[in-house]
Amino acid sequence: MFLWGTATAAYQIEGAAEEDGRGLSIWDTFAREPGRTRDGHTGDVACDHYHRWREDVALMSGLGLNAYRFSISWPRVQPLGDGAVNARGLDFYDRLVDALLAAGIQPVPTLFHWDLPQALQDRGGWMNREIAPIFAEYARVVAERLADRVPLWITLNEPFVHMAFGHALGMHAPGQALLTGALPVAHHQLLAHGLAVGALRASGARQVALTNNCTPVWPASAEEPDVRAADAYDVLHNRLFNDPVLIGKYPDLSAYTGDLGFVHDGDLEIISAPLDALGINYYNPTRIAAPADDGLPFSDAGITGHPVTAFGWPVVPDGLRELLTGLKARYGDALPPIHITENGCSQEDVLTERGTVEDAGRIAYLEGHIGALRQAMDEGVDVRGYFVWSLLDNFEWAEGYHQRFGLVHVDFATQRRTPKASYAWLRSFLADQNTDT
């Protein structure tokens, strides 16, 4: 069965930041610091999904989806990151999983979507190798409770973005700007992933995947310095996170560091534990030119000549086909089946007086990308699922509530949900699908 779903993440939708024993996460700390997010927005309330989850499951059921990717808040389950388990936190996800299954929707939980327990950050966070086995223990705790009902697990969401935005550039929690000094964060996340694969399987998990954010990289010109820079960027964004997992070795990182002392003997065997699927989040390609003067071996040349989203991201549906066929060409038989675990766009959505949101741009975006996905499948790429980002307008990290990605509009003052035109479009699209193929 091909999975058609939507995706969300705990900190972006749940709210209830201090309820039922939930511990603090690095996003609570970061968002509450003045100047970190646009207009000082936080996820304290977000979409209040923690209280309104029944309504949200009903919205998904109304769409005709057969899958839902959500993330589990680690500090809800283990408020201090390790040790004591908060039963009320696990109970929440237990109820959600049962309600999804009752609605004919397969639950696809992600164990880490960037909301590290603050107590673990205080011990060094992902710069500290000890977090890896602690993550595996958390994975075990969750799987012991849910594995009997979950068909597919995702360990981490986008370790690249968490490393780059959270630890290299400081735009996301925990707000560190270590530049290339952040590379151990990549390795420790991957090690945590590998250890968690073992823990999940030992606890009865049926299928396990990792979700990477990938981008086709276009050199700004055919000149050698641009081509070399594009290759360096491809190493950092894509291959740093795909190669060790799929082929058990790191790409050449000499453009970034000469010291791989954080990689210990045996780590790559753990990291390359076989997967049942690879999750790919795709938003847009990246165009790269020769380095500027900031110490990095590349510079972003920007993409022109395509429509852009409210975020200013170029809309290039064929980039999804290019990405998928490129992964197949690079990894061949080492590439497991793929799920597109996120794809979608932010738009300047307006709730009209008639109570509608006419998001034609989002419909065009989804139509185009699903078309590109089909082409990639026709060209031989094994894709098993597609998840729209996102079900609801939600807390868009550093942008707060300013970027709307939902199929459903949320009025953050009243928590009123209004399905957009794209919701109706997707519902009729799904009704036309033969979900057995």
387 binds ligand BGC (CB under 6 A): no
Residues near ligand BGC (CB under 6 A), total:
10
Angstrom distance (rounded) from CA 350 to CA 404: 10
In the complex, minimum distance from the CB of residue 10 to ligand BGC, in angstroms, rounded to a whole number:
10
Determine, following the binding rule CB under 6 A, whether residue 238 of this chain makes contact with ligand BGC: no
Q: Is 82 in the site for ligand BGC (CB under 6 A)?
A: no
Q: How far apart are CA 48 and CA 381, in angstroms?
A: 38
Q: Does 9 bind ligand BGC (CB under 6 A)?
A: yes
Structure-block tokens of residue 161: 């973005």
In this structure, what token pair is assigned to residue 48?
């209040």
Q: How far apart are CA 370 and CA 358, in angstroms?
A: 20
299-300 vs 286-289, strand pairing mode: antiparallel
Residue 349 contacts ligand BGC per CB under 6 A? no
- Is 55 known to be catalytic? no
Closest CB to ligand BGC among residues 226, 387: 387
CB of 64 vs ligand BGC, minimal distance in Å? 23
226 binds ligand BGC (CB under 6 A): no
Report if residue 342 touches ligand BGC, rule: CB under 6 A: yes
The minimum distance between CB 213 and ligand BGC, in angstroms, equals: 5
Q: Which of 42, 207, 213, 284 binds ligand BGC (CB under 6 A)?
A: 213
Rounded to an integer, what distance in angstroms lies between the CA atom of residue 24 and that of residue 79?
7
| 166-179 burial code (b ≥16 CB/10 A, e <16) | bbbebbbbbbbebb
Active site residue 158: yes
The reply on whether position 161 binds ligand BGC by CB under 6 A is: yes
- Angle between helix 318-331 and helix 240-247 axes, rounded to 10 deg: 40
208-213 and 153-157 strand pairing:
parallel
Nearest to 271, CA basis, from 311, 241, 297: 241
Using the contact rule CB under 6 A, the part of the chain among 155-163, 176-184, 249-257, 286-294 near ligand BGC is: 155-163
Measured CA to CA, the distance from residue 258 to residue 380 in angstroms comes to 38
Contact 377/394 with Cβ under 8 angstroms? Answer: no
- DSSP secondary structure code for residue 373 in this structure: H
The residue (of 262 and 412) whose beta carbon lies closer to ligand BGC is: 412
Say whether residue 281 binds ligand BGC (CB under 6 A). yes
- The active-site residue, picked from 14, 158, 322, 396, is 158
Residue 92 or 389: the one with the smaller Cβ distance to ligand BGC is 389
Shortest CB 160 distance to ligand BGC, Å: 9
Select the span of 62-70, 154-162, 265-273, 322-330 touching ligand BGC (CB under 6 A).
154-162
* Rg (alpha carbons) of the chain, rounded to whole number: 20
Pick from 158, 231, 267, 359 the residue near ligand BGC by CB under 6 A. 158
**Strand 416-419 and strand 408-411: pairing?**
antiparallel
Tell whether residue 157 is a contact of ligand BGC (CB under 6 A): yes
Q: Which residues are catalytic?
A: 158, 342
Binding site for ligand BGC (CB under 6 A): 9, 12, 157-158, 161, 213, 281, 342, 389, 396
